[in-house]
Amino acid sequence: MTTEPITGDTDGEGWSPIFVTAQDGLRLHVRDYRARAATGLPVVCLPGLTRTGADFHELARTLAGDAAEPRRVIALDCRGRGRSDHDRKPANYSLPVEVADLVSVLTALEIDRA
């Protein structure tokens, strides 16, 4: 599992786009909202069935910018959604595979507790 940061800013939106390689080689897109001095546990945002990590933009900016307890926020585009690669195998759109994808993301971003 590797991470591949995308170069450049996100128009000052407060997040960095990153691609993480899943256990089966599929590229997963992640929005990484890094707080300057994160003191709280990271927050991981998982979108619903047909949604993307972009749905959490306002929440993520608020949590990352909280003056009392800033947090790093990770918002994932699950496989086949948003900027993540589409999987050609329909059987891979399942809960066990999505859990494995989440583990790949957390491992690649060195987040051991969230």
For the chain, the structural domain boundaries read 3-108
Cα–Cα separations (whole angstroms), residue 64 to 24, 60, 61, 87, 96: 31, 6, 5, 31, 29
63-83 tens-digit pLDDT: 999 989 999 999 999 999 999
Looking at every residue in the chain, the average pLDDT score rounds to 90
The band of 107, judged by pLDDT with boundaries at 50, 70 and 90, is very high
pLDDT at 4 over 50: yes
Question: DSSP 3-state assignment of 63?
Answer: helix
Average pLDDT over residues 52-70: 94
What pLDDT, on a 0 to 100 scale, did the predictor assign at position 37? 83
What pLDDT, on a 0 to 100 scale, did the predictor assign at position 39? 84
Nearest to 69 by CA among 34, 32, 40, 37: 40
| Joined tokens for residue 100 | 């494995």
Any idea which architecture 3-108 has in CATH?
3-Layer(aba) Sandwich (3.40)
Average pLDDT over residues 87-99: 97
What pLDDT, on a 0 to 100 scale, did the predictor assign at position 14? 85
What pLDDT, on a 0 to 100 scale, did the predictor assign at position 106? 97
Quote the pTM value. 0.86
